[in-house]
Amino acid sequence: MEGDARAALLRSAIGHLAEHGLGGATLRGIAAAIGTSHRMLIYHFGSRDGLVLAIVRSVEEEQRAALAELAADAGASTAELARRMWERVADPRLHPHERLFFELYGRALQGDPGAAPMLEWVVPTWVDQLTTLLVQRGLPADQARATARLGLATVRGLLLDLLATGDRAAADAAHELFIRRVT
Partner DNA sequence: GACGGCCTGTACCAAGTGGTACATTCCTCG
Partner DNA sequence: CGAGGAATGTACCACTTGGTACAGGCCGTC
Instruction: Return residues touching a second copy (CB under 8 A).
Output: 20-24, 99-100, 102-112, 119, 122-124, 143, 145-147, 149-150, 152-158, 160-161, 163-165, 170-171, 173-178, 181-182
Instruction: Determine the Cα–Cα distance for residues 15 and 55; give it in Å rounded to an integer.
Output: 10
CB of 9 to DNA, least distance (A): 7
Rg (CA), the chain: 18
d(CA 116, CA 119): 6
| Helix 95-109 × helix 141-165 angle, to 10° | 110
What count of other Cβ atoms lies within 10 Å of the Cβ of residue 104? 22
Q: Name which of DNA, a second copy, none residue 16 binds, using a CB cut-off of 5 to 8 Å depending on partner kind.
A: none
Please give the Cα distance from 126 to 81 (Å, whole number): 14
76 binds DNA (CB under 7 A): no
Residue 137 contact among DNA, a second copy, none, beta carbon within 5 to 8 Å by kind: none
- Return the residues of window 21-60 that contact DNA according to CB under 7 A: 26-29, 36-40, 42-44, 47-49
Among residues 16 and 44, whose Cβ is nearest to DNA? 44
1-8 contacts, C-beta under 8 A, 24 or more apart? 5/44, 6/44, 6/45
Q: Which of residues 98-127 bind DNA (CB under 7 A)?
A: none
Residue 7 or 160 having the CB closest to a second copy: 160
Residue 29 interacts with which of DNA, a second copy, none, CB < 5 to 8 Å by class: DNA
Helix 168-182 and helix 78-90, axial crossing angle in degrees, nearest 10 = 160
Cβ closer to DNA: 27 or 122?
27
